Structure 1
């Protein structure tokens, strides 16, 4: 076998042969009909039955009113998609014809020209069927019959019952989602409705070729001294009849300075019984000709084009894959904590932090749920761009793709690569025990293998986690009885340890596989994979929710090495709620509509209690509901701010090294934990995340003693030397501080540093009349957010006055239309204003910051608009709210 390679040249590969042919069935003539054919409409691929029924005006907007329940009949029926398409003589003469279903949701029976070709039972699996014998010249007919997922789940549960039986009644959902390899949240969740859709949620194609096709490419990249070593693996498919194929594999990697590394070799491919095979190439790259890929906030995201070709010797048929790779190292470090914290209580146990390119980085971000409750709409590129860009804008360096949704589109992960957002990727198992019958496990094996192979090359993938909360659920008997523990433990190990783990480790040995999240990591493994206390603060990651405590108080939160889930609810804005109802009477706590949208048991009670701990709201106020919405967003923003800063401060004392609040996005207009409303509007929480996740932040903690500890958080690679923190004490009634003091401060790089600053508010007279403002100036830091301490609850604040607020707008710059137009919004006030909230009631623009604690007579904020407005027009659109008791 001969091999050649050419290093660092500008040679371009020239192929004069024919690439494999693909027939995309997106534009086939599709129809959809139900079981008794009382409904027959046009269909779409990719698409789904709810989408198609809405387009045909059979059903209304699924997210309006009570349509999540009123349209549930759809999921109880059987739906048949029929597509007609043409095949030409050249295609028919190909030796291989494979029909590829990238994603069918979920249980389906497939016929081609009245001949059975296969069945499916997993929406996360790509199915490939040999249709060479069933195709004919001219018109062909593909028929896919989708069974009701609700009925299939119930039927399977009768054979393989696995806890829990159903979701809580408040979810208005369906039972036994854990029986299907389907988006778990499609049967309802505490933040979303049930829409158990069926359909082609991804494309379907027919591949015509004569020999082999390259299905996927994986890259294993390792660093050793001054070189990067790359192993490129082509995952190859052919027909079952092909056994010995002579071919040529080559790869071209574009490097810095317009250089290329080209390598290739002859192959003698022997396919397996199922027609699959693998082939490898290796490259060695000097570190001097590539740049490192860094997470957002820590450096640039250098990506390099890799093209891999596979051509057959006899006829020169070519298969090609293009991907972008990044050069970075990542390691989840779980080692003796005494190394960092000494022989203290904090030093017991293990660390849990990510080291990227040799540096221990504090990870900051949130949790991602599906971008839409209908999976075929979740891959919309604009929706993905808007959400991921919004995450990047608030300093997100890591996002967790939660285990009750879907494995996201290729575009999603490419954008994470480009934006520098690391992905904590859960496998799609959440909040349930799962069956382990042979059919289920075999389907899971294929799902995991395909998922890892598809996503492995992305530099943004940080780790794999087997499930969401199932270790904690099993240990805590969330869904089971104590006497069933041993059964479910054995099944848990069978699924996540014996089935999934070996596949991940074999296909992606360079990344950590966590069996569960939350988990004690290595310690859970040592304890037989189900730790006695999966929430042990000395190990791993934790999830924490407490709706009874005062969540503005930093002292109530538990210690952790890594906070991978936490949060509180709020309502979406009135303008967003109005997109779900046309009836003004629905915008009231007395309405059935609002209660229907709240899926968290006792959710409004918790929300009301949280607001009442810090803010004053009169139930007899004529604008009570509008203010409740606004105050719920204040409460949510301040609560998540407090908890996040607690964890960031504890980098110094407990080696806490990550925060990902729950949750980034929404799937409908309802109460939830999100920081971005359905439709894209930022809640106050998302604006506040821009501050509490900032790279440099003064972060105070008011202790029960009345002392204020002050931390300087520095997520940069350089120290802060001789910076100045100014502490201003204000009366609520005046824009002039009653006293100020400045302290010289230092901070090490990539550290949280407690400062030698003495502030005590215990003996401060009239604490209900004052608050404290913190600001920072330091060389090399262009901006650092202000921070505040309120010694008493704001419901007890004395001295707040009704402000006079003047707002004027001037256009600042005109960028490219896709970037939007920028305006200067000038705000003038005559007194302290708390939580000044600006709105335009449009999703065509956003403010740079919002929810201001105004302590100056004039502030300026930028507004970016996708619509070309005059300053006067924008000025008229702006409304505002603020807190006053």
Structure 2
């Protein structure tokens, strides 16, 4: 039933239907839960939400699964059969309602459900909500709920025997399990190149009994369009009923809190037609003046105002039946795929299509990274403290977009709400990654439900930017990663059946205002034109690309291929020694040749690649007494500099290729091991994350040393105002002195939201003694509050001359104790007597963090802020600070 309401710009009196609410929920987390294995030899307390690994660890049956070799030593857990048994009480009044439903918001994964020894259903996907009608099985007083989980490894093997899809297994170096693509389960739970195999089992999201009469409001989608000076808001409520094929009368209403303390109210009587499956939809169309709401912007481009929307379903007696509260934002977003010549004229790069996001009418360069699950155990991945820490860390380095990668999970409601609040757009993959998938009826039925529920649950978040069908499966199919060439046609048919015939129409029907990409990487519209499998899914003239190359000199701007949008790229580094020591107490493990570190490296030839990357630019002797500690530290230098160069190349390429996005791989970590992350397991920032704060800076002078010896200089401006009447200063330094040997100044300008190559001529091809100098770049502009220094190192650092061992002095003073968050701020003053490269500060014994780190110092003094949860004397912090730096 549709209703159309035009809202007058005034406050309305709203009647709240809060008495005699007819929908009640019994939270099953309070039930008495017991967890047992198949033969009954293990019986421990269970938890909901929770999981078997977590509960066994709490009971002391297994140790920390991330410690030592425990990921493999505890693998027996995933081969056993586990049963959760819960006891709870219900009253006669509860059972008098028309509907008594058992609801699992998330159950992982293949399980059979019984109440009072009577089967009520089964589950086969961790990504869907299950609702079972249990009115007939429930009894007044005590009830017993039993959920028996099949081993996910065995379930995957059984399905694979009937519906095999390549690949059979992950590479041996992953220490993982096989056939995870047969299950609608977190694909990384059977292992990945950045994480362990912990095939989880459990009730990983809330479970409850709901009691109601007539109708319940399950989800609400919000479809927002800007038309002239108004916003059109279309609400679509998805209902579940106790009756099928009936017409029910109700009152459907909504209230929206807007600017100035106003509450706008809309509503009317509706006749609800329930379907055969007892579901129904109700629609409400609203027009809102642009004067009463403010636009939502991505981080770095404006504010993120959110407005409380309450949606009510009431009966004819003004009694509330069901209610949903949402926070919504008003913004427009489009993925623009149009003739590239519109942006690039007649240049050679103008072939093909653009690929960029236009938000509120403006083309914005998307800066950010890729998100993997916050914890390898999904029941722990919704920890709000961890999500807050990771997302605020992303926000603090100018992140405007995160890609939620397709081998993990659909994140918690809290995650997307925080993205809304922090202004972090989400590129949302559906959970398919690096594999072909079966297309039997059972599998497709699971997928259909998963996509319907995921889109309707998440659609109202202003942070959701687009939907993507899978991670790398178009490229895998075209590149024949897993199968024989003769099987291409079979897998192509399966691919189209899954992502095009099944998923695409669901997404486009439920969320028509957002783009659905079939895959990532993809050529977008061009891939669709070529039958959904492009001849070259990595064509730089279309779509997005993933690029990894561990052989090239990654500090060289000239080695990277062009792209319209870089949605994945990265390099491995080692974890810090402090974090590594949380996974082992045996000093023998702290060697690259140890079985422990061989076990932790899942990337084939991973250590070789890290060493080769370092050796191209840095000097580290094998006989150095601190070789291992330096290897860890230098690997983070190499990663940070490689990502800096590659990211700046993409930002520069907005000027001549219209590259409009750089999402590096990856933001976070799930264990203490070599990986591509910028934030270690536990939340500690690597050097990469500190460097990202600079290479993503809104205004940055970005030089590019060409093979010819010339230096191109770009001015990057991610602001809505142009830069003009400004100066770029170029200082030439000897490695042995803090005083520049030459300084040059150039006029500089850049349009708003642009990358502009400057009219600056610098050539180093005839510069003598290039191994003795480096260049520092800076900007002075009245309209720019800050712009970081940037550098050119003409020769690899391992071959430079004059780099001395510095004398470093550190002094700490207390600044203030903040009342808002009770954190204490300190000033850390650093003085040096020569050039220092990658000065890295640590205060391991103190709970706090530096605002910046990994400094390149060509000046005698800097001050950095340190923020701590402890209110200590400055002398204590000063004594706790240690440091490292690079020196040949």
TM-score range normalised by the length of the shorter chain: over 0.9
Q: 2:873 maps to what in 1?
A: 870
Cα distance between partner residues in 2 of 1:3 and 1:366? 41
**Please, which moves more after superposition, 629-638 or 579-588?**
579-588
TM-fit CA distance, 1:839: 0.8
Contact 1:211 1:312 in 2 (8 A): no
TM-fit CA distance, 1:4: 7.8
Superposition map of 1:647-662 within 5 A: 647-662=650-665
Q: 1:33-86: per-residue Cα shift (whole Å, max 9, x none)?
A: 000010000000000000000000000001000000000000000000000001
Q: Aligned pair 1:747/2:750, yes or no?
A: yes
Q: Kindly tell me: are residues 5 and 691 of structure 1, through their superposed partners in 2, closer, same or farther at Cα, counting changes over 3 Å?
A: closer
**Please, which moves more after superposition, 240-249 or 62-71?**
240-249
Cα distance between partner residues in 1 of 2:372 and 2:734? 42
Q: 1:9 maps to what in 2?
A: 11
User: Secondary structure of 2:697's partner?
Assistant: coil
Residue of 284, 287, 304 corresponding to 1:284: 287
Q: 1:805 maps to what in 2?
A: 808
Contact 1:401 1:424 in 2 (8 A): yes
Q: 1:368-417: per-residue Cα shift (whole Å, max 9, x none)?
A: 00000000100000000000000000000000000000000000000000
Q: 2:694 maps to what in 1?
A: 691
Q: Kindly tell me: are residues 747 and 843 of structure 1, through their superposed partners in 2, closer, same or farther at Cα, counting changes over 3 Å?
A: farther
Residue of 260, 263, 284 corresponding to 2:263: 260
Superposition map of 1:753-764 within 5 A: 753-764=756-767
Q: 1:286-330: per-residue Cα shift (whole Å, max 9, x none)?
A: 111110000000000011110000012258242110001111000
Q: Aligned pair 1:195/2:198, yes or no?
A: yes
TM-fit CA distance, 1:200: 0.5
Q: 1:838 maps to what in 2?
A: 841
Contact 2:349 2:656 in 1 (8 A): yes
Q: 1:169-202: per-residue Cα shift (whole Å, max 9, x none)?
A: 0000000010000000000000000000100000
TM-fit CA distance, 1:241: 5.3
TM-fit CA distance, 1:722: 1.0
Q: 1:389 maps to what in 2?
A: 392
Q: 1:453 maps to what in 2?
A: 456
Contact 1:398 1:424 in 2 (8 A): yes
TM-fit CA distance, 1:820: 2.0
TM-fit CA distance, 1:90: 1.5
How many residues are paired up? 885
TM-fit CA distance, 1:242: 7.5
Q: Kindly tell me: are residues 24 and 758 of structure 1, through their superposed partners in 2, closer, same or farther at Cα, counting changes over 3 Å?
A: same
Contact 1:817 1:866 in 2 (8 A): no
Q: 2:710 maps to what in 1?
A: 707
Superposition map of 1:365-384 within 5 A: 365-384=368-387
Residue of 717, 720, 723 corresponding to 1:720: 723
Q: 1:561 maps to what in 2?
A: 564
What's the C-alpha RMSD, in Å, of the aligned pairs?
1.2
Residue of 575, 584, 588 corresponding to 1:585: 588
Cα distance between partner residues in 1 of 2:393 and 2:18? 44
Cα distance between partner residues in 2 of 1:110 and 1:620? 61
Superposition map of 1:235-250 within 5 A: 235-240=238-243, 243-250=246-253
Residue of 513, 536, 539 corresponding to 1:536: 539
Residue of 619, 623, 628 corresponding to 2:622: 619
Cα distance between partner residues in 1 of 2:176 and 2:429? 23
Contact 2:6 2:286 in 1 (8 A): no
Cα distance between partner residues in 2 of 1:114 and 1:870? 63
Contact 1:725 1:743 in 2 (8 A): yes
Contact 2:829 2:864 in 1 (8 A): yes
Q: Aligned pair 1:672/2:675, yes or no?
A: yes
Q: Aligned pair 1:329/2:322, yes or no?
A: no
Contact 1:329 1:358 in 2 (8 A): yes
Q: 1:331-365: per-residue Cα shift (whole Å, max 9, x none)?
A: 00000001111222200000000000000000000
Superposition map of 1:282-681 within 5 A: 282-313=285-316, 316-681=319-684
Q: Kindly tell me: are residues 819 and 740 of structure 1, through their superposed partners in 2, closer, same or farther at Cα, counting changes over 3 Å?
A: farther
Cα distance between partner residues in 1 of 2:176 and 2:482? 17
Q: Kindly tell me: are residues 478 and 741 of structure 1, through their superposed partners in 2, closer, same or farther at Cα, counting changes over 3 Å?
A: same
Q: Kindly tell me: are residues 680 and 47 of structure 1, through their superposed partners in 2, closer, same or farther at Cα, counting changes over 3 Å?
A: same
Q: Kindly tell me: are residues 811 and 113 of structure 1, through their superposed partners in 2, closer, same or farther at Cα, counting changes over 3 Å?
A: same
TM-fit CA distance, 1:603: 0.1
Contact 1:5 1:264 in 2 (8 A): no
Cα distance between partner residues in 2 of 1:390 and 1:652? 29
Q: Kindly tell me: are residues 731 and 530 of structure 1, through their superposed partners in 2, closer, same or farther at Cα, counting changes over 3 Å?
A: same
TM-fit CA distance, 1:843: 7.6
Q: Kindly tell me: are residues 797 and 228 of structure 1, through their superposed partners in 2, closer, same or farther at Cα, counting changes over 3 Å?
A: same
Superposition map of 1:43-54 within 5 A: 43-54=46-57
Cα distance between partner residues in 1 of 2:711 and 2:537? 32
Cα distance between partner residues in 2 of 1:111 and 1:340? 61
TM-fit CA distance, 1:584: 1.2
Contact 1:246 1:314 in 2 (8 A): no
TM-fit CA distance, 1:844: 2.6
User: Secondary structure of 1:320's partner?
Assistant: strand
Q: Aligned pair 1:855/2:877, yes or no?
A: no
Cα distance between partner residues in 2 of 1:18 and 1:759? 77
Cα distance between partner residues in 1 of 2:822 and 2:702? 33
Cα distance between partner residues in 2 of 1:164 and 1:524? 23
Contact 1:681 1:843 in 2 (8 A): no
Q: Kindly tell me: are residues 302 and 315 of structure 1, through their superposed partners in 2, closer, same or farther at Cα, counting changes over 3 Å?
A: closer
Q: 1:38 maps to what in 2?
A: 41
Cα distance between partner residues in 2 of 1:125 and 1:515? 21
Q: 1:208 maps to what in 2?
A: 211
Structure 1 portions without partners, runs of 5+: none
User: Secondary structure of 1:199's partner?
Assistant: coil
Q: Kindly tell me: are residues 817 and 54 of structure 1, through their superposed partners in 2, closer, same or farther at Cα, counting changes over 3 Å?
A: farther
TM-score by length of 2: 0.99
Structure 2 portions without partners, runs of 5+: none
Cα distance between partner residues in 1 of 2:395 and 2:880? 27
Cα distance between partner residues in 1 of 2:4 and 2:20? 23
Contact 2:804 2:834 in 1 (8 A): yes
Contact 2:87 2:145 in 1 (8 A): yes
Q: 1:719-767: per-residue Cα shift (whole Å, max 9, x none)?
A: 0011111100011100001110111101100000000111111111111
Q: 1:637-690: per-residue Cα shift (whole Å, max 9, x none)?
A: 000000000000000000000000000000000000000000000000000000
Q: 1:110-150: per-residue Cα shift (whole Å, max 9, x none)?
A: 00011111000000000001111111111100000000000
User: Secondary structure of 2:255's partner?
Assistant: strand
Cα distance between partner residues in 1 of 2:378 and 2:538? 32
Cα distance between partner residues in 2 of 1:455 and 1:15? 26
Contact 2:18 2:320 in 1 (8 A): no
Q: Kindly tell me: are residues 817 and 14 of structure 1, through their superposed partners in 2, closer, same or farther at Cα, counting changes over 3 Å?
A: closer
Moved over 3 A (4+): 1-7
Q: 1:427-464: per-residue Cα shift (whole Å, max 9, x none)?
A: 00000000000000000000000000000000000000
Q: Aligned pair 1:180/2:183, yes or no?
A: yes
Contact 2:102 2:133 in 1 (8 A): yes
TM-fit CA distance, 1:842: 5.2
Q: 1:158 maps to what in 2?
A: 161
Residue of 218, 222, 226 corresponding to 1:223: 226
Residue of 17, 20, 40 corresponding to 1:18: 20
TM-fit CA distance, 1:819: 5.7
Cα distance between partner residues in 2 of 1:145 and 1:842? 45
